Amino acid sequence: MRKLYHYPISPFSRKVRVMLAEKELPCEVIIENFWERRREFLAMNPAAQVPVLKEADGSIYADSTAICEYLDERYGDDPQYSLIGRSVGERAETRRIAAWFNNKFYYEVTKYILDEKVYKHYRRQGEPDSGAIRAAKSNILYHLDYIAHLTREHKWLAGERYSIADITAASHISVLDYFSDVPWNHSPAVKEWYALAKSRPGFRLVLEERIPGFRPPSYYDNPDF
Amino acid sequence: MRKLYHYPISPFSRKVRVMLAEKELPCEVIIENFWERRREFLAMNPAAQVPVLKEADGSIYADSTAICEYLDERYGDDPQYSLIGRSVGERAETRRIAAWFNNKFYYEVTKYILDEKVYKHYRRQGEPDSGAIRAAKSNILYHLDYIAHLTREHKWLAGERYSIADITAASHISVLDYFSDVPWNHSPAVKEWYALAKSRPGFRLVLEERIPGFRPPSYYDNPDF
């Protein structure tokens, strides 16, 4: 059986879970407290990051973007079903936007919230730094405007088809939403796009999960908000 | 004519320049002081990051990893010449290692050095923070050990063939070497791998460039050290 070592509120884990669901690939999910740096886990991924995918044949895949590329290459023979795109140009645009959320959005928004609210709590490193939280809450507005801008041009972020760009962005947004850190009133267009993304395969599974000590708002796993 | 908007000591720019040279794709290079956030540059890449590739037909590509994937797809019809890899497994491993240097190495080493030594200087933000420089100098040792470990298993980082994993890692190392921040005595294996990487197409062009106010050590652009 295929196994995914993940952590429920890692946006990178969520992205791969949704990708697996889109490809209809069954998978046993195993929660990995990656910050504990378990020996067997480090042997699979010396970067000590989730997610890590272990195929039934024992082959191991790490780095969420490399895993998504792998899944699309290995289980997407028909380019019609590629979640990266069909044409070379479409694929470049999808990857550009996915990278925006994997890197820029992560370091400007998600990382602040997770580090301050969650990982500090689990590592008993004290109270959240209010300056860092404020920075994240201010930075997210510009990113929501960017999502709104992209959805004015197309149905989905990278074009007319749902892609890894949407999966990546929605994974980050869903993590922030767990902590009530998405100002939904800021942009109706973003809310509309996210409601569509939430109704895609895989998101239900992702939104069902809870982590100890933190409870999401009531609308969090409602696909219609 | 194809154009690359780049900055000489951006490891991400270097990676794309070397990729273009490996594919024998001629290109006009234009220095972009990306931190000035030039209006026309932001229109090409709202992330305000270098490099940006503009093809002769006017199409625009941003995000260095998306650009490398694009170049390999568009100009690598023969999988024999792919710089990502031939088999699905080889491609996953190449992408994993490239991501290690694009993300982990960048945030643990390169970014500290560039921010503190170069961008603070250009933005007149004062003296480098010695704590950040010390962190980078300490962190790099573990990454050099990882390179040594990988080259004990294969000729190149991701296998027996030169790939985007080597291009990415060597681009970062070359930037640090510009500022004499690579402790070459730490690992003969790394030195040997880097000497091979430096002799590949594209690296000569990259190592010829200088930035105002900073001069690299004398051995910097010597392919034999």
Calculate how close chain A gets to B185, using CA atoms only, in Å. 24
- Which residue among A66, A73, A96 sits closest to B66, beta carbon to beta carbon? A96
Q: For the residues B211-218, what does the mean pLDDT come to?
A: 95
The pLDDT value recorded for residue A7 is: 96
Beta-carbon separation of A47 and B104 below 8 A = yes
Beta-carbon separation of B88 and A66 below 8 A = no
Q: For the residues A102-106, what does the mean pLDDT come to?
A: 98
Distance CA B171, CA B101 (A): 9
Beta-carbon separation of A89 and B65 below 8 A = no
Beta-carbon separation of B95 and A146 below 8 A = no
Distance CA A16, CA B176 (A): 33
- Is 3.40.50.1110 the CATH classification of the domain at B88-201? no
The pLDDT value recorded for residue A32 is: 97
CATH topology of domain A3-77: Glutaredoxin (3.40.30)
Q: Which two tokens stand for residue B104?
A: 């982990």
Q: Which two tokens stand for residue B34?
A: 């990306």
A91 CB neighbours in chain B (<8 A) are: 69-70, 73
Distance CA A105, CA A113 (A): 12
- Which residue among B47, B67, B100 sits closest to A47, beta carbon to beta carbon? B100
- CATH dotted code for B3-78: 3.40.30.10
CA-based nearest residue in chain B for residue A59: B89
Confirm if B59 and B53 have CB atoms less than 8 A apart: no
SS3 A160: coil
Distance CA A162, CA A197 (A): 8
The pLDDT value recorded for residue B77 is: 65
Other Cβ atoms closer than 10 A to A161: 17
Q: Which two tokens stand for residue B116?
A: 């503190």
Distance CA A139, CA A112 (A): 10
Amino acid letter for position A86? R
Beta-carbon separation of A69 and B95 below 8 A = yes
Calculate how close chain B gets to A130, using CA atoms only, in Å. 22
What mean pLDDT value characterizes chain A?
95
The pLDDT value recorded for residue B81 is: 81
Question: pLDDT category, A54, cuts 50, 70, 90?
Answer: very high
CA-based nearest residue in chain A for residue B101: A47
* DSSP secondary structure letter of residue A54: E
Beta-carbon separation of A63 and B99 below 8 A = yes
Calculate how close chain B gets to A63, using CA atoms only, in Å. 6
Q: Which residues contact A196 (CB under 8 A, 6 or more apart)?
A: none
Architecture in CATH for domain A88-200: Up-down Bundle (1.20)
The pLDDT value recorded for residue A77 is: 65
Instruction: Give the angle subtended at the CA of A34 by the CAs of A170 and A141, to the nearest 5°.
Output: 30
B99 CB neighbours in chain A (<8 A) are: 63, 65-66
Residues B44-97 have pLDDT tens digits of 999 999 999 999 999 999 999 999 999 999 997 677 789 999 999 999 999 999
- Where along chain B do its domains lie? 3-78, 88-201
Q: For the residues B148-175, what does the mean pLDDT come to?
A: 97
Q: For the residues A177-198, what does the mean pLDDT come to?
A: 96
The residue of B57, B59, B84, B95 whose CB has the most chain A CBs within 10 angstroms, and thus the best one to mutate to test that interface, is: B95
Residues A137-183 have pLDDT tens digits of 999 999 999 999 999 999 999 999 999 999 999 999 999 999 999 99
Q: Which residues of A66-102 are buried (b: 16+ CB within 10 A; e: fewer)?
A: bbbbbbbbbbeeeeeebbbbeeebbbbbbbbbbbbbb
CA-based nearest residue in chain A for residue B52: A96
